[in-house]
């Protein structure tokens, strides 16, 4: 199921690929869909990629491949588009702001972070994600990571969520941090100092707290936001 904007963008990319052999630029997409910012285009492209309609190719500028069109799933019938039906629109909340006017920044998505058994340290950017500017905490660099595992589920962090991390090398007790363990394992856990050791606590009783020496743990950043797709 695609939204109208997602379908419009997919058809635009497919038409331009067939005509020119390359997809339109982000600026061209923005203008064609009458959006105010390229962050909106990025969100649409990410949604199409997650649904398997397009594929972004690494290390190539403007490299988007159309994998399939909705007709491939439902004969020659276009996939159902979410339009909200014919019912009158509900009044907007008093403080609501149009999505296009909300400031957003693109952050590098550095790959996956383990909320479970630690995985190898992450150092390469896989792609970028649009993040509301209000989510970014203070000064400093920020990046995003995709969560793998369920060890932080009781802190509201689920498998597949995108966490927004502020780069820093220190943490206070209770902070949820990206921790580099023994120089090669990266994990997302709650940080505490206990009895001269560092405790990396899960938020799931199925996982034990890891007690490590100070020289075994490097704080890589602190959790400042979370993005979830439904």
Measured between alpha carbons, how far is residue 12 from residues 16, 138, 175, 180, 208 in Å? 6, 38, 44, 43, 50
Is the pLDDT confidence value at 203 over 90?
yes
Residue 149: CB atoms within 10 Å:
23
Query: Positive or negative, the Cα torsion across 69, 160, 165, 95?
Result: positive
Which H or E element spans position 186?
strand 185-194
Q: Mean per-residue pLDDT for 33-60?
A: 79
Is 18 tagged catalytic?
no
148: phi then psi, degrees, rounded to nearest 5: -125, 120
Is the pLDDT confidence value at 80 over 50?
no
Second-level CATH architecture of 2-82: Orthogonal Bundle (1.10)
- State the pLDDT confidence band at 156, using cuts at 50, 70 and 90: very high
Measured between alpha carbons, how far is residue 227 from residues 43, 61, 78 in Å? 12, 26, 30
Q: Is CATH 3.40.50.2300 correct for 104-227?
A: no
- Which segment of 11-20, 32-41, 176-185, 213-222 scores lowest on mean pLDDT? 32-41
Can you read off the two tokens belonging to residue 83?
Answer: 């339009």
Is 151 tagged catalytic?
yes
Give the chain's length.
230
Q: Where in the chain is the domain with CATH 1.10.10.10?
A: 2-82
Q: Where in the chain is the domain with CATH 2.10.109.10?
A: 104-227
Threshold 0.75, pTM exceeds: no
173 DSSP 8-state letter: T
Is the pLDDT confidence value at 87 over 90?
no
5, 30, 148, 151: the active-site residue: 151
Distance CA 143, CA 207 (A): 26
Is the pLDDT confidence value at 101 over 60?
no
38, 148, 189, 229: the active-site residue: 189
At 221 the three-state DSSP class reads strand
- Answer whether 178's CB lies under 8 Å from 221's CB: yes
């Amino acid at each position: 199921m695609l939204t109208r904007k997602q379908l419009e963008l997919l058809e635009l990319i497919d038409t331009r690929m067939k005509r020119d052999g390359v997809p339109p630029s982000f600026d061209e997409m923005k203008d064609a869909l009458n959006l105010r910012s390229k962050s909106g285009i990025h969100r649409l492209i990410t949604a199409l990629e997650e649904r398997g309609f397009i594929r972004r190719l690494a290390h190539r500028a403007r490299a988007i491949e159309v994998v399939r069109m909705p007709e491939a799933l439902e004969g020659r019938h276009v996939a159902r588009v979410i339009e909200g039906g014919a019912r009158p629109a509900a009044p907007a909340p008093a403080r609501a702001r149009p999505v296009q006017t909300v400031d957003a920044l693109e952050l590098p998505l550095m790959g996956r972070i383990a909320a479970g058994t630690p995985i190898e340290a992450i150092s390469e950017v896989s792609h970028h994600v649009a993040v509301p500017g209000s989510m970014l905490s203070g000064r400093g660099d920020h990046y995003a990571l995709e969560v793998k595992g369920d060890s932080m589920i009781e802190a509201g962090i689920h498998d597949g969520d995108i966490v927004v991390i502020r780069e820093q090398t220190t943490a206070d007790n209770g902070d949820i941090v990206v921790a580099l363990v023994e120089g090669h394992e990266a994990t997302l856990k709650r940080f505490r100092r206990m009895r001269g050791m560092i405790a990396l606590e899960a938020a799931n009783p199925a996982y034990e707290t890891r007690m490590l020496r100070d020289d075994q743990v490097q704080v890589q950043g602190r959790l400042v936001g979370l993005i979830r797709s439904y």
